[in-house]
Amino acid sequence: MDMVNITINGTPMSVPAGSTILEACRQMGYEIPTLCYMKEKNEIGACRICVVEVKGARTLVASCVMPVNEGMEITTNSERVLKSRKKTIELILSNHNCSCLSCDRSGNCELQKLAKDYGVDTEHYTGVKTDVQYDESSPSIIRDNSKCILCRRCVAACKTQTAVIGANNRGFDTEIGCAFENPLSNVACINCGQCIEACPTGALIEHDQIDEIFAALADPEKTVVVQTAPATRAAIAEAFGKPVGTMGKGQMVAALRRLGFDKVFDTNFSADLTIMEEGTELLGRIQNGGVLPMITSCSPGWIKYCETFYPEFIPNLSTCKSPQQMFGATIKTWWAERNNIDPKNIVSVSIMPCTAKKFEVGRDDQSAAGVPDVDYALTTRELAKMIKRAGLVWDRLPNEEYDNPLGEGTGAAVIFAATGGVMEAALRTVVDVLTGKDNEEYDFVETRGADGIKEATYKVNDMEINVAIASGMSNAKKLLKDVKAGRKNYHFIEVMGCPGGCVNGGGQPVQPNWVRETIDVPALRTQVIYQEDKDLPKRKSHHNEAVQLFYKEYLGEPNSHKAHEILHTSYVDRSNVLK
């Protein structure tokens, strides 16, 4: 590797050629503040917070875009640099809604941290503020441009998904929004929430439904039941100061009980149920000449993307509801009948890593008992806020288990949280069904990893099964183009709306950009998931005894008529929004 000799704050050192000043400083242990920068996604030098002094340069330079060269002398903390950064922060705040006490991101706001670090007076510059948009039209996402700092990180995040937001107007009137000032509800937004994860301030947040949940919990006429998605256990502890990669399942269950939920169940049950239905559907399509490739239907962001941009692939989608919706349907049918409860008196709540789940609960054909399968979908962040508001102390909560029978799940269900997990879970069951035996093979490692697109071929008996996995919408787009053009032929495709899968969902605790630049957040959360899978005594969905009981008592068999009425759904062509 070619090296370049430079000096940082008077210390000589060598760094790889081609590095930016920011990268070189980080390699040598110096941290330079940034706001707009996101590695390989938003390297635009727009915010001017990362400026440094370079000997011989007439002006300060943006370290995130300036490459190093031989003999360069860099100063990162001179008086000139510190004054410039402070003035920039003051100017940003002069056009910023500084209602920090009530802001959703207070205490976890990158601008707020910089203001504190540099001793900034928010009232240093006063005057007219930009007349900006407040958009709460989406069921998932609220945009408050009075808190936007025009860093364009949300634009960069959305560009890898659907690219429905960008900079509108010019100069002082510039604001981030949709084309022609359309609200988010009128464009091809898939509600994934990756923009929220990218935002350094409180300009983007989810639609908060905490008050509605507290009201339901206080209603003696209602039975309030909650389910938690597998990815939530891998991230919830971060909201209470724990390191990324900390398991939080047992304390989360304890917290939900103390909040007053009547039953605390695990979405892993319905993830296993999904494999039973989806695996049977796949085998039926292969053996009976059905539409192939079959594509997973677990991710509501992906489903909306397909309906909007590739409606010709709607027949390829599995008709299975997502695990969230299957669980809600199970609660309001089988579980309600077993416990002699009117479904109208059940409030079904889900804790999800995903903002798109808020959109999903309102979709058509999601009401198996004549009422919505799920009433409220809360993000991991919202649950953390509920726990704090109730005065529960995370470190004092015991580790507790889910309620039965809908608290039972296998390792196959847990790995739904990671990209490739649904595919691997399906393969564990499909291979057993096709071979007619309980195979000792559990790990289909080709499905694992952070690659955007993964492919594999498995030979089972005399049949070759071709599979593919796409993580994030930009990769799904590439894969679908290849399938459409006939360049690729698969039996089964898994698509996750968020890059990395649900562990990196738009509803997970927000990690500041400097954390994400330092550690691989999705990978550490994924490790938690695969470790639980490895530790569980049952690792195949068809070994879930609660699922077996559900079929025995109520559904009959996978893909039965009754199963289709309760656990399957339909889709709509949404491409008109593009016209």
The answer on 255 and 337 residing in a single domain is yes
Strands (E), 448-509: 453-460, 463-471, 492-496
Q: What is the rounded CA–CA span in Å between residue 567 and residue 328?
A: 10
Q: Taking 90 as the threshold, does the pLDDT of residue 208 lie above it?
A: yes
Mean pLDDT, to the nearest integer, of 75-95?
Answer: 96
Q: What is the rounded CA–CA span in Å between residue 403 and residue 405?
A: 6
User: For the sheet containing 3-8, what is the strand order?
Assistant: 11-16, 3-8, 73-75, 51-54, 61-62
Mean pLDDT, to the nearest integer, of 296-314?
Answer: 98
Mean pLDDT, to the nearest integer, of 491-500?
Answer: 97
Domain of residue 98: give its range: 94-206
Using DSSP's 3-state secondary structure scheme, residue 309 falls into helix
The answer on 473 and 397 residing in a single domain is yes
Q: What is the rounded CA–CA span in Å between residue 57 and residue 94?
A: 29
Cis peptide before 405 (omega within 30 of 0): yes
The answer on 307 and 406 residing in a single domain is yes
Q: What is the rounded CA–CA span in Å between residue 159 and residue 145?
A: 19
Answer with the one of 77, 106, 128 that is the final residue of a domain: 77
Quick: pLDDT tens for 209-219: 999 999 999 99
Is the separation of the CB atoms in 422 and 493 below 8 Å?
no
The average confidence (pLDDT) of the chain is: 96
Whole-number percent of the chain with pLDDT over 90? 96
In a domain, 368, yes or no: yes
> In angstroms, what CA-CA distances link 551 with 348, 454, 544?
21, 33, 11
The answer on 240 and 196 residing in a single domain is no
Cis peptide before 183 (omega within 30 of 0): no
The answer on 447 and 362 residing in a single domain is yes
pLDDT (0 to 100) of residue 264: 98
Amino acid at 488: K
Q: What is the rounded CA–CA span in Å between residue 515 and residue 521?
A: 8
The answer on 467 and 451 residing in a single domain is yes
At 429, the pLDDT band (50, 70, 90 cuts) reads very high
Q: How many distinct structural domains can be found in the chain?
A: 3
Quick: pLDDT tens for 369-409: 999 999 999 999 999 999 999 999 999 999 999 999 999 99
The enclosing domain of 122 has a CATH number of: 3.30.70.20
Quick: pLDDT tens for 332-347: 999 999 999 999 999 9
pLDDT (0 to 100) of residue 122: 72
pLDDT (0 to 100) of residue 1: 77
CA-based torsion, 146, 151, 152, 153: positive or negative = negative
The answer on 394 and 522 residing in a single domain is yes
φ, ψ for residue 163 (rounded to 5)? 55, 50
In a domain, 450, yes or no: yes
The answer on 474 and 408 residing in a single domain is yes
Residues with Cβ within 8 Å of residue 572, at least 6 apart in sequence: 307, 364
In a domain, 85, yes or no: no
Closest residue by Cα to residue 151 from 283, 8, 49, 3: 49
3-state secondary structure 358-399: HHHCCCCCCCCCCCCCCCEEEEHHHHHHHHHHCCCCHHHCCC
In a domain, 89, yes or no: no
In a domain, 525, yes or no: yes
DSSP state for residue 503 in the 8-state scheme: G
Amino acid at 303: I
Identify the H or E element spanning 56: none
In a domain, 180, yes or no: yes
Quick: pLDDT tens for 120-152: 987 788 889 999 989 999 999 999 999 999 999
The answer on 387 and 445 residing in a single domain is yes
- The structure tokens 């031989």 sit at 70
Answer with the one of 77, 104, 135 that is the final residue of a domain: 77
Quick: pLDDT tens for 528-537: 999 999 999 9
Q: Taking 90 as the threshold, does the pLDDT of residue 557 lie above it?
A: yes
Answer with the one of 164, 190, 206 that is the final residue of a domain: 206
In a domain, 338, yes or no: yes
Is the separation of the CB atoms in 406 and 330 below 8 Å?
yes
Amino acid at 458: Y
The answer on 98 and 54 residing in a single domain is no
Is the separation of the CB atoms in 118 and 86 below 8 Å?
yes
One-character DSSP codes across 72-95: -EEESS-HHHHHHHHHHHHHHHHT
Residues with Cβ within 8 Å of residue 97, at least 6 apart in sequence: 144, 146, 147
The answer on 548 and 405 residing in a single domain is yes
φ, ψ for residue 62 (rounded to 5)? -80, 115
Q: Taking 80 as the threshold, does the pLDDT of residue 86 lie above it?
A: yes
The enclosing domain of 236 has a CATH number of: 3.40.50.1780
In a domain, 279, yes or no: yes
The answer on 400 and 516 residing in a single domain is yes
One-character DSSP codes across 404-459: SSTT---HHHHGGGSTTHHHHHHHHHHHHHHHTS--S----GGG-SS-SEEEEEEE
Is the separation of the CB atoms in 282 and 425 below 8 Å?
no
Closest residue by Cα to residue 207 from 193, 224, 186, 190: 193
φ, ψ for residue 168 (rounded to 5)? -110, 150
The enclosing domain of 57 has a CATH number of: 3.10.20.740
Quick: pLDDT tens for 175-187: 999 999 999 999 9
